[in-house]
């Protein structure tokens, strides 16, 4: 028995919200966006967009070739959809609010291009794409409560 057991709630939603907040702040602090620790929020947002693009939110740990620890994992506590349901909805809302009728694929590409530019300083996207992405990130953060 370990010294303490705490039920750790899944941190995906608060982390996604924090990442969106940090990324929004980088537009006014481009030097901060290029520091090593800024890769974490920017890469996480990029990855969420990839999951959204392919509707690929299955992310549960697999059990190896066989699982002998039958009683270690209380599966009823593992709701496969809990971690991403709010995030996915927030992405839908933010894209609708910022990109309107622009096709999903193009909108995701635009946001990812801006994230790459923030991280590297290379291939600066058009100003209106940057503005729309900043707006998208702000909406995404707000939609996450």
Does position 116 interact with another protein (CB under 8 A)? The reply is: yes
Longest dimension (CA), the chain: 57
How far is CA 93 from each of CA 14, 63, 83, rounded to the nearest angstrom?
Answer: 17, 34, 17
Question: Minimal distance in Å, beta carbon 27 to another protein?
Answer: 16
Instruction: Between 61 and 101, name the residue whose CB sits nearer to another protein.
Output: 61
Based on its alpha-carbon atoms, the radius of gyration of the chain, rounded to whole angstroms, reads: 18
Question: Is the CB of residue 93 less than 8 Å from the CB of residue 139?
Answer: yes
Residues 63-82 that bind another protein (CB under 8 A): 63-68, 70-71, 73, 75-76, 78, 80
Report which of 12, 54, 19, 8 is spatially closest to residue 137, judged by C-alpha positions: 19
Residue range at the interface with another protein (CB under 8 A); choices 23-31, 39-47, 95-103, 130-138 = 39-47
Among 34, 53, 88, 138, interactor with another protein by CB under 8 A: 53
Q: CA-to-CA distance for 99 and 107, rounded, in angstroms?
A: 7
DSSP three-state, residue 55: coil
Please give the residue ranges that form the binding site for another protein (CB under 8 A).
Answer: 8, 10-12, 14-16, 18-19, 35-44, 46-48, 50-51, 53-56, 58-68, 70-71, 73, 75-76, 78, 80, 83-84, 87, 112, 115-116, 119-120
């Amino acid at each position: 028995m370990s010294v303490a057991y705490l039920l750790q709630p899944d941190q995906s939603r608060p982390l996604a919200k924090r990442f969106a907040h940090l990324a929004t702040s980088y537009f006014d602090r481009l030097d901060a966006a290029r520091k090593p620790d800024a890769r974490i929020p920017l890469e996480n947002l990029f990855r969420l967009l990839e999951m959204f693009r392919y509707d690929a939110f299955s992310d549960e740990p697999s059990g190896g070739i066989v699982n002998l620890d039958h009683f270690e994992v209380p599966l009823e506590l593992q709701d496969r959809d809990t971690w991403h349901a709010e995030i996915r909805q927030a992405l839908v809302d933010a894209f609708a609010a910022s990109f309107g009728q622009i096709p999903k694929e193009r909108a995701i590409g635009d946001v990812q291009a801006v994230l790459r530019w923030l991280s590297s300083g290379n291939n600066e996207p058009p100003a209106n794409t940057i503005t729309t992405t900043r707006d998208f990130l702000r909406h995404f953060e707000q939609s996450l409560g």
